[in-house]
Chains A and B, each alone.
Chain A
């Protein structure tokens, strides 16, 4: 019996006349409550931010003006700035990834709960948790203070943050590996170094290489910004171009960064697919 026929006979069907997709909130009341909360948050947050609306309103014409001045991108006689800056960023990325990997191996082993003693494990995990919380630019400030302006500070910043990142991934891989090979190698009387070389390394090598290539790509992205605080690379030239309203050069740098990063990402995806 259809719902309509049931209704015609004066019955009350338990089924609704029209179908509605199931919501994700589990009921109209909860949905309403969710959107009211979101709206209330937006109103509160925007009013809290002290926005100068008149200045924002002038933004659109300014954006159009800026875009007009960005087109076409022009390098002029500053090719050496662009090429040297990009090259420096890439070199920082390569060197810091390799240095970071070298540092990450001991740190990662120390941070794996199944290989390292408890106090060392806690210390290594603590370093990783704190190091991960700070943005690269914040770390760069400290290295700039210690080593002066220039590529050294950038190199050390990226090496430090890559070591933290790679060590975290490595430690997780080591914790998830199969315990069998480790026991077998240990049972043959192997020393700790031999256990790492013959039981741990073969199990985590491929995945770690994948993470390393990912980090190389990530470092290339980061190396383009830390120049803003004086840590070398193309970021310094970009920041200077913006502050001099030199928009056509800025857009040339932006395009160069986007191109290099896109190629880097493509290479990283390609080689990680090959690894699998």
Chain B
């Protein structure tokens, strides 16, 4: 896409424009290349200090072929055995989300600047948000398995612990952006703090609360499919057992089942969110 611009016949004096069109000036191009080089260096540093055993790369394709061969055909007779754990997985996600939503409302009011009591309570609210969100569901699973023992209860609490921060953060942001006029109007009728929250703020953040809840539920279905790896119930338990016994044809059946459930939950979540907005 380069066109050389010839000066018209008769030779008007050159105005100092370049002959070729360039998108960036030399300086801009240099800065851009420096950014790219920086990224490449960061990647190179990260990879080089990871102690990578390159020998493993040599037989990776053989391993892949071996894996596929052992997976096919899927052992469909395993399907009836995984229906119950699959249902448990959905229960873990749903019950965990329910607990999380219940707990996230007070936390959200605590962590929103316009409803929290003072700087100290705001800090508490924020600390709960950061603590809950920065630890992954599976790690929460490790913690709750140590407390409640292996089983679905640990999974429910792990899902709840991670989701509280997620839901509360988004609801708190919504609370900070509510229409102040409605709060004033309700307060002017003599309503107390709780009445103001219930009548003036909650209805305004309800769409965000419902949307976030359904969205998080959908993520939680995916997360609870692996909670069994740390002993926190659900389909992950059977998947882990199948992998450890190298029953790859069973693994494929479980993976297909997870895929089906995740698709269904995603479609449901998108449908509900579509109806709200």
> Contact residues of A with B, CB < 8 Å?
21-22, 24, 38, 41-42, 45-46, 48-52, 55-56, 58-59, 62-63, 66, 87-88, 90-92, 94-95, 98-99, 129-130, 133-135, 137-138, 141-142, 145-148, 150-152, 155, 185, 188-190, 194, 198, 221-222, 224-225, 228-229, 232, 235, 238-239, 242, 245, 247, 254, 257-258, 261-262, 265
Contact = CB atoms under 8 A, between A and B. Distances in A.
B229 interface: yes
B97 to A, nearest CB: 12
A70 to B, nearest CB: 10
A56 B57 CA distance: 46
Interface in B126-149: 130-131, 133-136, 138-139, 142-143, 145-149
B30 interface: no
A56 B148 contact: yes
A59 B148 contact: yes
Per CB-CB distance, the 4 closest pairs between chain A and chain B, nearest first, are A95-B46, A261-B134, A91-B46, A45-B91
B124 interface: no
Contact of B226 (A66, A88, A137): A137
A176 to B, nearest CB: 17
B5 interface: no
Contacts of A242: 142-143, 145-146
Q: Is the interface of A mostly helix, strand, loop or mixed?
A: helix
Contacts of B60: 146-147
Given A21-B203, A228-B229, 4 more contacts: A49-B233, A146-B60, A235-B139, A265-B134
9 contacts: A22-B203, A49-B233, A55-B149, A91-B46, A91-B50, A133-B259, A146-B60, A224-B136, A225-B136
Interface of B: 1, 23, 39-40, 42-43, 45-47, 49-53, 56-57, 60, 63-64, 67, 87-88, 91-92, 94-95, 98, 130-131, 133-136, 138-139, 142-143, 145-149, 151-153, 198-199, 203, 206, 222-223, 225-226, 229-230, 233, 239, 243, 255, 258-259, 262-263, 266
B144 to A, nearest CB: 8
B227 to A, nearest CB: 10
A151 to B, nearest CB: 4
A221 B134 contact: yes
Given A48-B91, A59-B147, A59-B149, A152 B203 contact: no
Given A98-B43, A142-B67, A42 B147 contact: no
Nearest to A24: B206
Contacts of A24: 203, 206
Nearest to B84: A48
Contacts of B98: 38, 42
B42 A94 contact: yes
A75 B237 CA distance: 31
Contact of B50 (A88, A134, A228, A238): A88
Given A42-B95, A133-B222, A147 B46 contact: no
Contact of A148 (B39, B49, B53, B153): B53
Contacts of B266: 133
Contacts of B88: 48-49
A21 B258 CA distance: 42
A127 to B, nearest CB: 13
B222 A147 contact: no
A91 B145 CA distance: 29
A42 B56 CA distance: 48
A141 B243 contact: yes
A129 B267 CA distance: 12
B262 A133 contact: yes
A241 to B, nearest CB: 9
A145 B91 CA distance: 30
Contacts of B229: 137, 228-229
B52 A49 contact: no
Which one of A58, A88, A194, A242 has the highest number of Cβ atoms from chain B below 10 Å of its Cβ?
A: A242
B153 A51 contact: yes
A62 B199 CA distance: 41
Contacts of A59: 147-149, 153
A212 B143 CA distance: 31
A235 B139 CA distance: 8
Contacts of B49: 87, 91
B23 A198 contact: yes
Given A135-B223, A137-B138, A147-B57, A55 B148 contact: yes
A52 B153 CA distance: 9
B8 to A, nearest CB: 21
A235 B136 CA distance: 10
Nearest to B62: A146
B63 A146 contact: yes
B147 to A, nearest CB: 5
Contacts of B39: 98
